[in-house]
Structure 1
């Protein structure tokens, strides 16, 4: 059976895509594994019964006029952090999450994964919890390395997401061609 020149070219392209697909997959297997598992966990975080992310509690008032000033709530959160968790923990705040509809304020810290929830009106402690979701997110996007090496512009996250996003795009294109290429070859064979 003689091959038409375009069939040879098509077969060559399919072999090339198969080789790239296989080698890239083998090279990045571990990273794809971590991305898929961490992505699944992040998707389920709100349904984890407080295991991945602490449940959001309810405060006594949703009326902001009845709430304590943020500075006062902040000071209470810092005292609770050192008295209830550890005096050695850094008290730098990453973000303050105000949930008016729940009547609470969450204090999330920058250099560890603890969260403190306070009643916005009374300042009473509602919850102390570990934010495993933040750790999982740092693993998912590669910023865990930036945290470990204390980099300011997050170069590891940028490099990691560029490589993994590009690889996913490459897998999508090569996978599509591995599926579609033989169909084209079959049609060409029928025409001949």
Structure 2
């Protein structure tokens, strides 16, 4: 068997087994990604409320946002360390606060009025999707492996697609040269 044919056989095996093993990681990332895309229609997160019409320069300070967020007597929220993320949404003039324990809060950015206080599982989904829920060992091992494997799968797939075409063209050229 020629070297290209051996490489083709090895490429098929690598493609098959790495694809089977890594399909679980790809499926997990795809499912959590789809849930993130459709989290509002599925009711996983709260709809964006609208704050009073004001310019960003009229927004309350971040210290005030944190103070209001912590003072809401939400279960499991006692300090700034319990806040996962604070987002400012200028189009709605709100601050959206997401807590580590799947609580959500929306504040009017100019008045500090609480517009919504609701369970918000998007933080949980985000941490699942980006791998931070499992820790850095998962992110830097499994997700790195998944990314590199996707590159490997792409190249082995291109080779498995291109090699038979190359062989057919080569055989066709030999046949046409013999006929002349």
TM-score range, shorter chain: 0.7 to 0.9
**Displacement, 1:21?**
0.7
Residue 158 of structure 1 corresponds to which residue in structure 2?
Answer: 140
- Unpaired segments of 5 or more residues in structure 1? 147-153
Residue 78 of structure 1 corresponds to which residue in structure 2?
Answer: 70
- Unpaired segments of 5 or more residues in structure 2? 175-180
Residue 173 of structure 1 corresponds to which residue in structure 2?
Answer: 155
Residues 79 and 182 of structure 1: CA distance in aligned 2, closer, same or farther (over 3 Å): same
Instruction: State whether residues 95 and 107 of structure 2, in contact with CA within 8 Å, keep that contact through their aligned partners in structure 1.
Output: yes
Q: Which residues in structure 2 correspond to 1:35-184 (within 5 Å)?
A: 35-45=29-39, 48-49=40-41, 51-64=43-56, 66-80=58-72, 82=73, 85-86=74-75, 88-89=76-77, 91=79, 92=81, 93-109=83-99, 111-146=100-135, 154-184=136-166
Residue 150 of structure 1 corresponds to which residue in structure 2?
Answer: none
TM-score normalised by length of structure 1: 0.77
Instruction: State whether residues 98 and 123 of structure 2, in contact with CA within 8 Å, keep that contact through their aligned partners in structure 1.
Output: no
Residues 94 and 139 of structure 1: CA distance in aligned 2, closer, same or farther (over 3 Å): closer
What RMSD over aligned residues (CA atoms) do the two structures have, in Å? Answer: 2.3
TM-score normalised by length of structure 2: 0.81
